[in-house]
């Protein structure tokens, strides 16, 4: 979980940081508490894979600390909570985001907001359409302050019989939010896998959606390739279907 949490916060740095003359170098010996800075650089679109862990480790403490000064919203369920706990254990906590809350904590160093769909909108796993609706509503309500949006599906959301519909609805949401807030940054999280590769568990469909995310958004946004860490870049698979490594 430590590795997964580094992967998530490293993805945030990828989307928000850009080197400047005043930026600390990877060899900066700064070991003080994270320094918050609300300024977001130009960033860089693309897929953050397993190499993102090493990229994160190379950053100075002060550069890592910049993520605490950005207004980011992360909505999720189940696996996302594990990611939040891992980030907290490593010194970069997400502040709780509930129904009706605002993503306006950057000034106080609490810019990372995380919430679960069941709290924010009463939406359990297995209902991706409603999760998309709730996220769009919350992003719209916070459009005056929100800088980064992070959406993660649950392990029960993507199956063979709905993945194409989910892709269409998700793309519609992204297009609408991008038109509404042109400066908004997006982190797309590939759907989490499960241990079983049985067809009814949906790992093949989850992989299709993950690949679709990479193909669709890699030129404009950042894709957090969660599946790559779960399956160790495909070393854990059965009949070409990736699974969580034991």
SS3 205: helix
Alpha carbon distances (Å) from 219 to 6, 17, 48, 214: 23, 17, 13, 9
Contacts of 72 (CB under 8 A, 6+ apart): 12, 103, 111, 112, 113, 146, 147, 148, 149, 150
Cα–Cα distance for residue pair 135/68, rounded to 1 Å: 21
pLDDT for the residue numbered 114:
96
pLDDT, mean over the chain: 86
Beta strands in the chain (DSSP E): 46-48, 72-76, 95-96, 112-116, 148-151, 185-189, 222-224, 237-238, 241-242
Helix (DSSP H) and strand (DSSP E) numbers for the chain: 9, 9
**Whole-model pTM?**
0.86
Segments making up each domain of the chain, as ranges: 2-242
Cα–Cα distance for residue pair 30/49, rounded to 1 Å: 26
Cα–Cα distance for residue pair 46/110, rounded to 1 Å: 26
pLDDT band at 77 (very low <50, low <70, confident <90, very high): confident
Which class is 2-242 in CATH?
Answer: alpha beta
Over residues 28-55, the mean pLDDT reads 68
pLDDT tens, position by position, 145-193: 999 999 999 999 999 999 999 999 999 999 999 999 999 999 999 999 9
- DSSP lists the bridge partners of residue 74 as 114, 150
pLDDT tens, position by position, 205-222: 999 999 999 999 999 999
Tokens of 75: 């909505």
pLDDT for the residue numbered 214:
98
| pLDDT score of 34 more than 60 | no
| pLDDT score of 228 more than 80 | yes
pLDDT band at 29 (very low <50, low <70, confident <90, very high): very low
Q: Which residue has the tokens 């690949």?
A: 211
Cα–Cα distance for residue pair 230/226, rounded to 1 Å: 6
Cα–Cα distance for residue pair 245/11, rounded to 1 Å: 22
């Amino acid at each position: 979980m430590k590795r997964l949490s580094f992967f998530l916060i490293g993805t945030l740095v990828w989307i928000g940081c850009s080197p400047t003359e005043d930026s600390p170098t990877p060899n900066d010996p700064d070991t003080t508490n994270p320094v918050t800075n609300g300024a977001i650089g130009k960033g860089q679109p693309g897929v953050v894979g397993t190499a993102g862990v090493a990229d994160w480790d190379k950053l100075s403490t002060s550069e890592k600390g910049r993520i605490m000064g950005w207004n980011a919203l992360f909505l999720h369920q189940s696996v996302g909570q594990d990611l939040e706990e891992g980030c907290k254990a490593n010194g970069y906590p997400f502040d709780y985001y509930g129904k009706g809350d605002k993503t306006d904590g950057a000034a106080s160093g609490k810019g990372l907001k995380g919430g679960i769909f069941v709290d924010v909108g009463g939406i359990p796993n297995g209902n991706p359409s409603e999760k998309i609706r709730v996220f769009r509503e919350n992003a719209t309500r916070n459009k005056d302050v929100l800088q980064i949006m992070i959406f993660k599906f649950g392990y029960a959301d993507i199956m063979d019989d709905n993945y194409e519909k989910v892709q269409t609805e998700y793309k519609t949401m992204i297009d609408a939010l991008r038109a509404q807030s042109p400066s908004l940054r997006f982190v797309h999280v590939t759907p989490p896998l499960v241990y079983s590769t049985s067809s009814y568990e949906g790992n093949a469909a989850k992989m299709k959606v993950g690949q679709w995310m990479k193909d669709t958004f890699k030129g404009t946004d950042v894709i957090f390739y969660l599946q790559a860490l779960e399956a160790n870049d495909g070393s854990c698979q059965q009949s070409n279907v990736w699974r969580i490594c034991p």
